[in-house]
Amino acid sequence: MKKVIFKGTLLPYLLLLPQLAITAIFFFWPAGQAVYQSFLREDAFGLSTEFVGFENFLDVLHDQTWLDAAGRTLLFSGSVATLALGSALFLAVQADKHIRGANAYKTLLIWPYAVAPAIAAVLWLFMFHPNIGLFGRMLNGLGVPWDYRLNGNQAMLMVIMASAWKQVSYNFIFFLAGLQSIPKAVLEAAAIDGARPTRRFWTIIFPLLSPTAFFLLVVNLVYAFFDTFGVIHSLTQGGPGKATETLIYRVYTDGVINLNLGSSSAQSVILMLLVVVLTVIQFRYIERKVHY
Amino acid sequence: MATLTLRDVKKSFGATPVLHGVDLDVKDGEMIVIVGASGCGKSTLLRIVAGLETETSGEVLIAGQSMKGLEPADRDVAMVFQNYALYPHMSVFQNMAYGLKIRGLPKDQIQRRVDEAAGLLGIGHLLHRKPRELSGGQRQRVAMGRAIVREPKLFLFDEPLSNLDAKLRVELRAEIRRLQRRLGITSLFVTHDQVEAMTLGDRLVVMNAGRAAQIATPMEIWERPADTYVAGFIGSPSMNLLSARLEAGGAAAILDAGGLRLPFVDGPRAGAAGRKLTLGIRPEHLRLGEGGLDVMVELVEPLGGESVLHGKLADGTPLTARLPGARYADGAMTLALPPESLHVFDGETGKRIEAGD
């Protein structure tokens, strides 16, 4: 890496300022607000405010509906991460082969990442809406009672697929880069050693990709925890009932719809701690466990 | 242990021909070195034998069996790569045991074979290390160990020494030769280094632009190079090549530069008077003496016991001489060409012309 040395300190700080300002305004300030709010109880109109200490946190952690949402979030995040990682790995392995039109194929695979969550949701809606969706109507025509607006499991399946689909591109890029960084000679050595393609994949390629895979796992979990609000909001609004209400969606419902600001803030502080933990694990693991 | 036969092996990448038809018969236990400049197709040839590339036409036979359509896994060959190609996430032991595990050998046998090979190579104390914790020389030993434990029909070496420093290269070169002799496994060794080629090979294949220019023992190649390419490639410093014309009667050549007459002591060459020739003489065969070539020496490289002199003839043709002693200076000098050390090549095709041809 090329190092640039500045004289004095003013210019470097000036250059850092925009980034620092963005972080301060869009992260530290709201985060600080959330922490502050989480210790308060306020009526819906903001007329009276009372300091309640950790009561909001205790209430949240004892609330069965919150715990249900937490379980649902684990299922949702686990499924999204598994599906997104699995399909991305499969596609990356295919793209790494010498195939005709590989470049077009790679470009197409990267596109979904550029699609806004709401647009992605509308796309899936057009495919799976029971009345107007191509596949939704097909399923009903085949006698499968498909309506994600009524069936909670189907709704969950929908949001999982839509969320995973959006993340495949990101994973794909990393997996492809990981695959391409494996020296060809190593795979040839394995081939000469008698390993056939499947065995080569599981004994050479997969272990060498595992640091990438772990990094992506954490990124995908964080994505599923925090960045899927848009997809859920546009597809199911957390419904039917509470079937697709994840923790992040509940923060929104409790805070913005129900105006229970104290509880909502406490919930988002809990989520914040969770992402901190995930990040720490990731840094620790990546420092230690990169084995080549 | 096995024989290896190549029959008119050709290879093109797209429209670009890389190999123009190579024939080779390797005897059981023989060490063949394929040598040539980069881009001559030597690595491609090795990879075709390994099954990593598919020949466009022709045939590869190992132990008399056609390898047509067989995957590398089914050929029972082992290969040592230039950049070692060790499995980075496995320990040295796992690296060496990988091929045996795939073949389903019982654990105790794997252990025994790996220990044996590790002992042979002096890497017994490294078995639990990861490749990244090894030096270049150790890595190459592990790569060789991985090949040895397999007890394959054929060893393939793809420039295994070129990433090592000079001292280690000489050490490992001798080691490879000893091991290969001891194990008696038929081997193909690719290199661009003519010293490696001369010292390692039972026979050499000198490749030039996708063809085998000459296949012979190192001494045969040195003494009777088949063409001007081989003559210039093998030997250091390179053989001097001087253009000349055949004298009427074919008993001597007249050098273009200076008109010096050089008789052929082993017999006359065929052809009309004035036939274009290229005469070769190795730098170490030139002597100080009267009645020879007038050379303008421009650079003297003293090597201790001997010196290499770089100079030019009157017409600008470069000439190199290796002379005993160290006391030489730049300037005019006369060098004699002993007629018995002359190599005669066709001036147009570059092919060697023997007496009576």
pLDDT at A291 over 70: no
In chain A, whose CA is at the least distance from the CA of B51? Answer: A192
Instruction: Please state, in angstroms and rounded to a whole number, the distance separating the CA atoms of residues B49 and B37.
Output: 20
Which residue of B79, B80, B94, B134 is the best one to mutate when testing the A interface, meaning the one whose CB has the most A CBs within 10 A? B79
CA A221 to chain B, closest CA, distance in angstroms equals 26
**Mean pLDDT, chain A, integer:** 83
Across the interface, which of A189, A193, A207 has its CB nearest the CB of B102? A193
DSSP-derived letter for residue B157 is E
**Subunit contact B52:A196, Cβ cutoff 8 A:** no
Across the interface, which of B73, B82, B89 has its CB nearest the CB of A195? B73
**Subunit contact A185:B52, Cβ cutoff 8 A:** no
Count CB pairs under 8 A between chains A and B: 68
In a domain, B290, yes or no: yes
Scan for tokens 């190992």, then name that residue: B62
Strands B31-35 and B203-208: parallel
Query: What is the pLDDT at residue A36?
Result: 84
Residues contacting residue B266 through CB under 8 Å, at least 6 positions apart: B340, B355
Provide the domain count of chain B: 2
Task: Check CB contact of B128 with chain A, cutoff 8 Å.
Answer: no
Which residues in chain A touch residue B102, judged by CB atoms under 8 angstroms apart? 193-195, 199
More confident residue, B12 or A150: B12
Which residues in chain A touch residue B103, judged by CB atoms under 8 angstroms apart? 194
In a domain, B357, yes or no: no
- pLDDT (average), residues A230-246: 81
- B247 and B200 within one domain: no
**Subunit contact A189:B85, Cβ cutoff 8 A:** yes
Residue B185 tokens read as: 């496994």
**A-contacting residues in B 25-54 (Cβ below 8 Å):** 50-52
Instruction: Please state, in angstroms and rounded to a whole number, the distance separating the CA atoms of residues A96 and B95.
Output: 25
In a domain, B116, yes or no: yes
In chain B, whose CA is at the least distance from the CA of A193? Answer: B99
Q: pTM for this one? A: 0.78
Across the interface, which of B78, B82, B103 has its CB nearest the CB of A192? B78
Across the interface, which of A189, A194, A291 has its CB nearest the CB of B102? A194
In chain B, whose CA is at the least distance from the CA of A206? Answer: B89
**Subunit contact A193:B77, Cβ cutoff 8 A:** no
The domain boundary, picked from B226, B247, B263, lies at B226
Across the interface, which of B79, B88, B132 has its CB nearest the CB of A192? B79
- B243 and B219 within one domain: no
**Subunit contact B83:A194, Cβ cutoff 8 A:** no
Residues contacting residue A217 through CB under 8 Å, at least 6 positions apart: A81, A85
- B149 and B90 within one domain: yes
The domain boundary, picked from B169, B195, B226, lies at B226
- B68 and B35 within one domain: yes
- B206 and B332 within one domain: no
Report residue A286's pLDDT band, with 50, 70 and 90 as the boundaries.
low
Across the interface, which of A183, A188, A208 has its CB nearest the CB of B52? A188
List Cα–Cα distances, B202 to A193, A268, B61, B141, B189, in angstroms: 26, 76, 20, 22, 11
pLDDT at A100 over 80: no
Residues of chain B with pLDDT under 50: none
Residue type, B39: G
Structural domain harbouring B314: 237-346
CB B179 within 8 A of CB B148: yes
- Phi, psi (rounded to 5 degrees) for B315: -90, 5
Query: What is the pLDDT at residue A2?
Result: 58
In chain B, whose CA is at the least distance from the CA of A210? Answer: B89
More confident residue, B278 or A9: B278
Task: Check CB contact of B68 with chain A, cutoff 8 Å.
Answer: no
Query: What is the pLDDT at residue A292?
Result: 47
- B244 and B315 within one domain: yes
Which residues in chain A touch residue B75, judged by CB atoms under 8 angstroms apart? 192
In a domain, B85, yes or no: yes
CA B299 to chain centre: 29
- B219 and B245 within one domain: no
What is the secondary structure of chain A as a DSSP string? ------SSSHHHHHHHHHHHHHHIIIIIHHHHHHHHHHTEEE-TTSS-EEE-TTHHHHHHHH-HHHHHHHHHHHHHHHHHHHHHHHHHHHHHHHHHS--TTHHHHHHHHHGGGGS-HHHHHHHHHHHH-TTT-HHHHHHHHTT----TTT-HHHHHHHHHHHHHHHHHHHHHHHHHHHHHTS-HHHHHHHHHTT--HHHHIIIIIHHHHHHHHHHHHHHHHHHHHHS-HHHHHHHTTT-STTTT--HHHHHHIIIIIS--HHHHHHHHHHHHHHHHHHHHHHHHHHHHH---
pLDDT at A289 over 70: no
- B249 and B200 within one domain: no
Lowest model confidence (mean pLDDT) among A140-144, A248-252, B263-267: A140-144
Query: What is the pLDDT at residue A287?
Result: 63
- B73 and B210 within one domain: yes
The domain boundary, picked from B166, B193, B226, lies at B226
The structural domains of chain A, ordered by start, are: 33-289 (1.10.3720.10)
Instruction: Please state, in angstroms and rounded to a whole number, the distance separating the CA atoms of residues B12 and A283.
Output: 48
